């Protein structure tokens, strides 16, 4: 069964709490679990189907880029 993007598609972010060595480790001051791995999800809110999940790596074109979260 093939799913297609529709008007109920949304993009969300989740911080998965994680306290170990990892190159994609982030710190977000406003979250209850402040340290972890940030994941972006493209999902269908009506059918509860995740189209795409991506680990946030904080890199653009091979160069480090600073972000304030």
What φ, ψ does residue 52 adopt, rounded to 5°?
-155, 140
Q: What is the pLDDT of residue 59?
A: 60
In a domain, 3, yes or no: no
Q: What is the pLDDT of residue 6?
A: 78
Tell me the β-bridge partners of 55.
Answer: 39
In a domain, 56, yes or no: yes
pLDDT tens digit string along 10-61? 888 888 898 888 777 888 888 888 888 888 888 888 888 888 888 887 765 4
In a domain, 66, yes or no: no
What's the total number of domains in the chain?
1
Q: Please, are residues 15 and 31 in contact by the beta-carbon 8 Å criterion?
A: yes
Q: CA-CA distance, 54 to 40, in Å (whole number)?
A: 5
Q: Which domain covers residue 52, as residue numbers? A: 9-60
Is residue 69 scored above 60 in pLDDT?
Answer: no
65 band by pLDDT with thresholds 50, 70 and 90: very low
Q: What is the pLDDT of residue 67?
A: 44
Q: What is the pLDDT of residue 60?
A: 55
């Amino acid at each position: 069964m093939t799913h297609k993007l529709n008007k109920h598609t949304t993009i969300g972010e989740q911080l998965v709490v994680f306290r170990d060595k990892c190159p994609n480790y982030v710190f977000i001051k406003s979250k209850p679990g402040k340290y972890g791995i940030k994941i972006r999800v493209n999902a269908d809110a009506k059918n509860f189907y995740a189209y795409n999940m991506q680990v946030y790596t904080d890199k653009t074109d091979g160069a480090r880029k600073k972000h304030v979260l």
